[in-house]
Amino acid sequence: MVLQVEPQDHEEGISSSSSLDAFLRSLKSLLTRRIATVSSHPNADLDSVASEAIACELVNNLGGLCCVTNPEGVGKEAREALELLDVTLPQCAEIQNPADKAFLMLVDTSTEVQAAKVLRDYAGAPLLLVDHHEVGSLARLSTVSLVISESPSCTEIMAALMARAGVRPSRSVATLAVLAILVETSALSRASATTFDALAYLLRSGGDYQWALGRVQKTLEEPVDLRMAKVKGASRLLASKVCNDIIVAVTDVGSYEADVAKALVVLGADVAVAIKDDRMSVRLSRRASARGVSAGALAELLGDELGGQGGGHRGAAGLKLSAETNNTEKLKQRVLSIIANHVARSCSRRER
């Protein structure tokens, strides 16, 4: 069952949504007989680990047991924040948690490829999903999923669930959540009304806004390897102009593919794709979004055409190929052709 909050309901405040109540009923029902196993996408970022931390505290407050598994690791920024705030995520590897006594709760994840290992490890277990991407394959696979694609972060959905349940996170987890929201919304530049609802709830729960803001400001200076990746990405790009004023750019990098794709948009691209091994990151400009182009739809299209699975938001998405390529230049040319043709067809339909 896919529980979606419509845009108009999201603007009025998701904390009063009946979808939250339906999700909480399903969660409480499973907790009477199973342990919650919480996980997210590979190289879990701040939004992911904050959502995991809130999920476990929610489960504990509801009288259940919870553990976290990130089989493909946690990102550096998230790992440092956990250490600084002394937040410990209970690890599933340290307890007896077999699939026949567990249920999965995936957060900040939209496709089966992103959760492939944990889905294999807990095959047959009930699956709950909380996500803020466009509806992907995981939502259709889940027992119950709460998908709010209008939400700038997954953390604020988890905060709304906790508020709806009438419980509060610990001070350290509340601060972690505030930091995650600030980072995910680019210091609130992409915030919605519900973002501020979530922040108010987290601050009332003891979250330290000044600490979180200071942490964000400390990370504004980009490391030299990130700057080098952006320069290399710009030097290797292929570009094409479609619909008279839409620029499509495709490049390859050895790291930081998401940051490089965003940098290409700042440089002037309307649709930017950065390839790293078997992964791709897709970013759109506001101009492309206004023309009806969706990064999530492009990632799905590329997955269908190239072999793999992708998904994400309207403005940002990711893709994982089934296998790495041995000819990156050929892959870049094919990606450029697929996207340019798709965008051109979209323009033609809009002109009719």
Q: Where are the domains of the chain?
A: 2-218, 224-351
Collect all residues with Cβ–Cβ distance below 8 Å to 141 and sequence separation of at least 6: 112, 127
Question: What number of residues does the chain have?
Answer: 352
DSSP secondary structure of 80-94: HHHHHHT--PPBGGG
The phi and psi torsions of 147 (rounded to 5 degrees) equal: -120, 120
Query: Kindly report the CA angle at 339 between 310 and 331, in degrees rounded to 5?
Result: 75
Give the integer Cα–Cα distance in Å for 349 and 166. Answer: 48
Give the pLDDT confidence score for residue 352 in this predicted structure: 56
**What's the whole-model pTM score?**
0.77
* Amino acid occupying residue 349: R
Confirm if 304 and 319 have CB atoms less than 8 A apart. no
The CATH fold assigned to 224-351 is Diaminopimelate Epimerase; Chain A, domain 1 (3.10.310)
Confirm if 131 and 107 have CB atoms less than 8 A apart. yes
Residue of 92, 151, 139 whose CA lies nearest to 114: 139
CA dihedral 335, 43, 182, 298 (to 10 degrees): 20
Return the DSSP state at 36: E
* Amino acid occupying residue 321: L
Give the pLDDT confidence score for residue 8 in this predicted structure: 44
Give the integer Cα–Cα distance in Å for 269 and 211. Answer: 35
Number of C-beta neighbours around residue 50 at 10 A: 36
Give the pLDDT confidence score for residue 99 in this predicted structure: 66
Beta-bridge mates of residue 3: 146
Give the pLDDT confidence score for residue 11 in this predicted structure: 46
Confirm if 177 and 155 have CB atoms less than 8 A apart. yes
Structure-token pair, residue 174: 């509340």
Give the pLDDT confidence score for residue 124 in this predicted structure: 87
Confirm if 261 and 283 have CB atoms less than 8 A apart. yes
Confirm if 34 and 102 have CB atoms less than 8 A apart. yes
Give the integer Cα–Cα distance in Å for 127 and 105. Answer: 6
Token look-up 């590329």 returns 302
| CA dihedral over 118, 123, 127, 132, signed as positive or negative | positive
CATH code that applies to domain 2-218: 3.90.1640.10
Collect all residues with Cβ–Cβ distance below 8 Å to 30 and sequence separation of at least 6: 36, 103, 126, 128
Confirm if 60 and 151 have CB atoms less than 8 A apart. no
Average pLDDT across each block of 10 residues of the chain; the chain has 352 residues. List them in order: 53 63 93 91 93 97 94 90 95 75 91 87 91 86 91 96 96 98 91 95 97 86 89 96 93 93 95 94 92 91 92 88 87 96 80 58
